[in-house]
Chains A and B, each alone.
Chain A
Amino acid sequence: MSHLKTAMITALLSATALTASPLMAKDLRIALQSDADVLDPDQSRTFVGRIVYASLCDKLVDITPDLEIIPQLATSWTTSDDGTSITMDLREGVVFHDGTPFNAEAVAANIERSQTMDESRRKSELKSITSTEVTGEYQIKLNLAGADATLLAQLADRAGMMVSPTAAAAAGADFGLNPVCSGPFSFTERVAQDKIVLTKFGDYWNADAINFDSVTFLPIPDTTVRLANLQSGDIDMLERLAATDLGQAEADANIVVDSAVSLGYQGITFNIANGEKGDNPWGNDKRLRQALSYAIDREAINQVVFEGAFAAGNQSFPPTSPWYNADFPVPARDVEKAKALLAEAGYADGIDLEVQVPNTTVPLQLMQVVQSMASDVGINMTITSKEFATLLADQSAGDYTASQIGWSGRVDPDGNNHQFVTTDGGINDSKFSDPKVDELMNAARTAPTVAERKALYDEAMVIMLDELPRLFLYHQKWIWAYNDSMKGFTPYPDGMIRLEGVTWEE
């Protein structure tokens, strides 16, 4: 009996001790909208995969919420005067989860892996690096084919994530089954579509800033169910709350909602010259595309489809971005102008337009709103909904007139533009081609200062807004909801969840 009593008292005491401490051992449970793909930074491609990496894999550099590049594994860097090399000083005393030391050799091995592994999806991101030179144990020189203003931003994402060279060499393309990096948490377990469990890495260089024993990522696709789990306390945080659930989440006193305008965009891509279907009135006459743009009330779309939670937009950057061309604010709807443009193009009596749309709720709702706005000016829009893999294949093959599609966004402005609008751009599904745009986009890649680059993008934006190969509609906001015991979370426009400095206080 007395044994039992002692045991109970001990248990009680330890329980109170635990709850009293703000840094209590806790497993943080985060719900993701979908399951990540392969967990190899060189092979993976999903957004949720990157959220997992934010806790698993450190990068050479990171970004601030204002998109400035700051040190992570590289502590400082200098670019040569002609811009053809970058020398980086690396953080000392860092080890990978398997104990392999992090140094210049490791960086060289990582860049080689990203550039040469057959399965690598990072080749184009690191194309400008021609060779690496280990100039000291903790110093590396990256030699470039030419000045590349976009490289640091690439190194702030998957291309700059450092994996253990020992583990990578041993596992080859199967590295993703048991990833070994140098981030604040190490990989413990994965059950597909169920959970990814990471455990705090004791030897992390910034371990003092990490206040959770482990973090579990749970893919929960249904947004209502995601929120219900948060409300019932089964999870601590969720990403991408649906705009329509905002009211319910904000009404709950135990839930905090945070958001950040994303780096990406949503809009309509036109087929300008991609195969036979590019030869159609919409591809041939920019006035039609302009007419559609004037027919749309972008702010109304934001209100109707997204309860005002997102940001209306008309460029490849959101209006809040430092790269946004402020001379061209989001235009108001102008039905008369749209009709005039249609008449000028010879379609005063109206014209048909077929738009392909991914077969999920939000894009369908979006296009239905656009459809009704377009009908007011005489554009008779038909919506063809396609499952995403099909939509992408048709778009790539040029088997479309217009396509409702978005882009998740990149830190560097180049990522939102160059590959879509330059003549040889890898994902220029419009096959839009304009020598001036090519020239400006290429120049912006090498221009040394931010101000010069901004001027080049501003100039290109004038042409893109006139030609409209892509018609921009809105910018998504990343919306996180979490238990109010969680303190110190900072929203970033890249949508990642960074746990440094985040605490749990009951």
Chain B
Amino acid sequence: MLSFLFRRILIALPTILLISIFVFALQKILPGDPLLVLAGEERDPETLAFLREKYRLNDPIWMQYLAWVGNALQGDLGISLRTNQPVTELMAQKLPVTIQLAVMSMIFALVIGIPAGILSAVKKGTATDYVANIVALSGLSIPNFWLGIMLILLVSVKWQLLPASGYVPLSEDFWLSIKTMLMPSFVLGTALAATLMRHTRSSMLTVLSADYVRTARAKGLVERVVILKHALRNALTPIVTLTALLFGELVAGAVLTEQIFTIPGFGKLVVDAVFNRDYAVVQGIVLVTAVGFIFMNLFADAMYYVLNPRLRGQ
């Protein structure tokens, strides 16, 4: 098991390197000059020249990249061209926000998606199945920004039940923090729930037609036990993997949802940084997100290994 994980980490390292090169190059290919935006409306040529020098934008790209890698290895991801704040500090501010949003969304997704999937598999072909499918499809099809604005108008403006937008740290006011995050995580969660529901359904359908389920029924077990104890456990293995992967996606950015609900997380940070050509910030976020994503992948592999005893022998 350990050597398996170690191998996977070794494979991940070049991936991270490649991603950083790719993103660096991609940013430089983008048209537009960051300094024209940075130098202010009046664009004084002297200031422009100084800033180009300061941020090493006159150097060849490969030199800029090597300088960045050198600093990054020492834990220095540079400073934001826009606010002068260190990138590491910016991300330290955003990471808890993004993680809280991701965890809460995932809770919504699991609580809605898995029971709906089971129900729809067990009642396959009945009205319940169709309703569950329609709901799941709507969850996938309704754009997040639309659902978000509708919720704000209804829940916050009309009923005044929850704060309309923003973010309160957990440490500052626990319940207010949860309340503020409820709507955005619901919006994100419903979209994921649809994916989870579809996968749970198909996975359950496969398992339900397996021989051992027929055996269990033949033994005279109650249907509830057959489904929850025998079928579900086996059906869940792929779902666990999927959940870990979806979680990685969540951390990577709930860009639109964060924009609508004005949540100061990774997604909002990276979008604003791209528009402002804030190279260091984009680069830093992509790196950390890639590491996070790879880590979640690893976690998924490990979980698979733990859940599926057949793999352990290999």
Contact = CB atoms under 8 A, between A and B. Distances in A.
A396 B157 CA distance: 44
B198 interface: no
Contact of B157 (A232, A391, A394, A427): A232
Interface stretch (B34-42, B199-207, B208-216): B34-42
A154 to B, nearest CB: 11
B47 to A, nearest CB: 6
B165 A393 contact: no
Interface string B31-75: 111101111111111110011001000000000000000000000
A327 interface: no
Residue of A40, A45, A396 ringed by the most chain B CB atoms within 10 A: A45
Interface string A244-288: 000000000000000000000000000000000000000000000
A393 B33 contact: yes
Contacts of B42: 121, 124-125, 419, 426-427
Contacts of B149: 222, 224-225, 228
Interface string A390-429: 1111101000000000011000000000010000001100
A427 B43 contact: yes
Contact of B43 (A40, A125, A224, A426): A426
A174 interface: yes
Contact of A177 (B31, B85, B262): B85
Given A123-B47, A232-B156, A232-B160, A193 B39 contact: no
Residue of B40, B152, B164 ringed by the most chain A CB atoms within 10 A: B164
Nearest to A219: B262
A386 B36 CA distance: 15
Contacts of B30: 390
A319 B83 CA distance: 36
A218 B32 contact: no
A116 to B, nearest CB: 11
B49 to A, nearest CB: 10
Contact of A234 (B38, B153, B164, B268): B164
A38 B39 CA distance: 12
A353 to B, nearest CB: 22
Nearest to A220: B262
Given A121-B40, A232-B164, A222 B47 contact: no
Contacts of A40: 84
A193 B285 CA distance: 15
A224 B39 CA distance: 31
B295 interface: no
B44 A123 contact: yes
Contact of B50 (A118, A218, A219): A118
A75 B35 CA distance: 38
Interface in A171-196: 173-174, 176-177, 191-194
Contacts of B272: 35, 193
Contact of B152 (A43, A121, A228): A228
Q: How large is the interface on A (under 10, 10 to 19, 20 to 34, 35 or more residues)?
A: 35 or more
B41 A407 contact: yes
Contacts of A174: 84
Q: How large is the interface on B (under 10, 10 to 19, 20 to 34, 35 or more residues)?
A: 35 or more
Interface string B228-260: 000000000000000000000000000000011
A391 B32 CA distance: 7
Contacts of A419: 42
A211 interface: no
A392 B276 CA distance: 12
Contacts of A233: 160
A198 B268 CA distance: 23
A45 B41 contact: yes
A228 B153 contact: yes
B41 A118 contact: no
Contact of B46 (A45, A123, A393): A123
B184 to A, nearest CB: 11
B82 A37 contact: yes
Interface in A367-396: 386-394, 396
Contacts of A225: 149, 152, 164-165, 260-262
Interface string B271-287: 01001110000000000
Nearest to B160: A232
Contacts of A426: 42-45
B264 A194 contact: yes
A389 B50 contact: no
Contacts of A36: 83
A100 interface: no
Interface of A: 35-40, 43, 45, 118-121, 123-125, 173-174, 176-177, 191-194, 218-222, 224-225, 228-229, 231-234, 386-394, 396, 407-408, 419, 426-427
26 contacts: A40-B84, A43-B84, A45-B39, A45-B41, A123-B44, A124-B42, A177-B85, A191-B93, A191-B264, A192-B90, A192-B93, A222-B260, A225-B165, A228-B156, A232-B157, A232-B160, A234-B156, A386-B31, A388-B32, A390-B30, A392-B37, A393-B31, A393-B32, A394-B31, A408-B41, A426-B43
7 closest pairs, A vs B, by CB? A389-B32, A45-B40, A194-B264, A390-B32, A393-B33, A121-B40, A390-B31
Interface of B: 30-34, 36-47, 50-51, 54, 80, 82-85, 90, 93, 149, 152-153, 156-157, 160, 163-167, 259-262, 264, 268-269, 272, 275-277
Given A191-B264, A193-B269, 8 more contacts: A37-B82, A121-B44, A219-B262, A222-B262, A234-B164, A389-B36, A391-B32, A393-B36
